[in-house]
Amino acid sequence: MLPLLQITGMGVVVSTISYGTISLGTGYVIAFVVTEAFIIFSGLRGSAWVSILKDSLVIVTLLAVFVYVPVHYFGGIGPMLDRLVAERPQWLVLPGQGKESLGMLWFATTGLLNGVVYTIFPTTVAGYLGAKNPGVLRRNAIIMPFYQVLLFVPILLGLAAVFVVPGLSDSNLAMFELVVDSMPAWMVGLVGVAGALSSIVPMAVFMLVIGTMWGRSVLGVHPRTAPHQKRLSQLVTFLVGLVALLFTFVSPSTLVQLSVLSYQGLAQLLPVVLISLLWKRMTVAGAASGLAVGVAVVAVLVSTGNDPLLGINAGLIGLVVNIAVNVLVSLARPSTAPADRLAVDELAEVRSGRS
């Protein structure tokens, strides 16, 4: 579902920075063509280099917009927040403007679940596997949480849009409506470039994971040659992007909901990806059983309208059931694999060799 969101986001950028000359539909097609060309020809290394440019532009533009828009419309951030407190206080407390069931417990459990998913998200795992050395992973673990502070900027701009562009038909356009209305054309272009790169880079990494998984591991069994597997990966990447483009036109709102659901589903991979590294007695049957039950629990709760259940995010409930089933099945059916088939601690072997 992430490719759909990225195509939608870049389509909005293309349409907005053209001042409406390019329609949203045409913007989606342009976004698809540009991102697919970049993904197929650049690879993971190209995405990493462009990510440096993207991060620099995003930080600069967000900070500029963070200062400029409140000053332009309200005379400063303080007056804007004062007006927000006076006229829209419900936007500053949970559950806010929306479902009454989304209270503090939902917010806490959703934050916990998203933190879990971040560690096993495909784009994050791709970074793990593409890192040059363990030091890179440690630096990323330190730096990446600070990026979340930047999320306050679009939140603030969304609150400003409540007053500046009330009744906006498409909430995706809120930030760019403010930017186009208040900023000079060159700054609009700069914000547009930052927004476009913010769509391309995450989609590139995500699609490379999909292409590699299916093109090499699933479809590329025979012949197992690098050129053949590369072509299959590129084909899978193109087809997935095409499907995302089609659904962007056919059913964008439904797929956004499915994107939220995908985070809850991905959380069920936690025992398989991480807990298995710590608990050596986990078996394939236990991991598979827990994963299946966890996904089923999430699907049932969401489809029946019971998400959240008693204020708790359905993904976290599914994860708890997942782990419980995993442990029970693994203990009931212990592994019978011979010792030479079990994974070994390579670092421990290196350390023992040095000693």
Q: What is the pLDDT of residues 161-180, one digit of tens each?
A: 888 877 766 666 677 777 77
In DSSP terms, 309 is beta-bridged to: 312
Band of pLDDT at residue 321, cut at 50, 70 and 90: very high
**What confidence score (pLDDT) does residue 225 get?**
58
Question: Where is pLDDT greater, at 338 or 135?
Answer: 135
Q: Give me 161's structure tokens.
A: 């849009």
In DSSP terms, 184 is beta-bridged to: none
Q: How far apart are the first and last CA of the chain?
A: 49
Highest mean pLDDT of the ranges 37-46, 68-77, 231-240: 68-77
**346, pLDDT greater than 60:** no
**What confidence score (pLDDT) does residue 328 get?**
92
Tell me what percent of the residues of the chain surpass a pLDDT of 90: 5
pLDDT, averaged across the chain: 75
**253, pLDDT greater than 70:** no
**226, pLDDT greater than 70:** no
**78, pLDDT greater than 80:** yes
Question: How many other C-beta atoms can be found within 10 angstroms of the C-beta atom of residue 117?
Answer: 21
**What confidence score (pLDDT) does residue 319 get?**
92
How far does Cα 167 stand from its chain's mean position? 28
Q: Give me 304's structure tokens.
A: 């029946």
Q: Give me 79's structure tokens.
A: 């007056």
Tell me what percent of the residues of the chain surpass a pLDDT of 70: 67
Separation of alpha carbons 160 and 67, rounded Å: 12
pLDDT tens-digit readout, 129-162: 767 788 888 887 788 777 778 778 878 888 888 8
SS3 content of the chain, % helix, strand, coil (to 5): 80, 0, 20
**219, pLDDT greater than 60:** no
Question: Are the beta carbons of 175 and 164 closer than 8 angstroms?
Answer: no
Q: For 15-21, what is the mean pLDDT?
A: 73
**In the chain, what is the greatest distance between 2 CA atoms, to the nearest angstrom?**
72
What is each CA distance from 276 to 27, 137, 259, 273, 283, in whole angstroms?
44, 20, 26, 6, 9
Question: Where is pLDDT greater, at 50 or 142?
Answer: 142
pTM greater than 0.85 (yes/no) = no
**What confidence score (pLDDT) does residue 317 get?**
92
Separation of alpha carbons 350 and 346, rounded Å: 6
At residue 312, φ and ψ (nearest 5 deg) are: -100, 135
Phi-psi region at 328: left, alpha or beta (left = phi > 0; alpha = psi -120 to 50)? alpha
Return all residues near 7 (Cβ < 8 A) that are at least 6 apart: 28, 31, 32, 35, 199, 203, 241, 244, 245, 248
Q: Give me 267's structure tokens.
A: 């959380």
Of 24, 21, 50, 34, which is closest to residue 205 (Cα–Cα)? 50
User: Which residues of the chain form beta strands (DSSP E)?
Assistant: none
Q: For 86-102, what is the mean pLDDT?
A: 73
Band of pLDDT at residue 2, cut at 50, 70 and 90: low
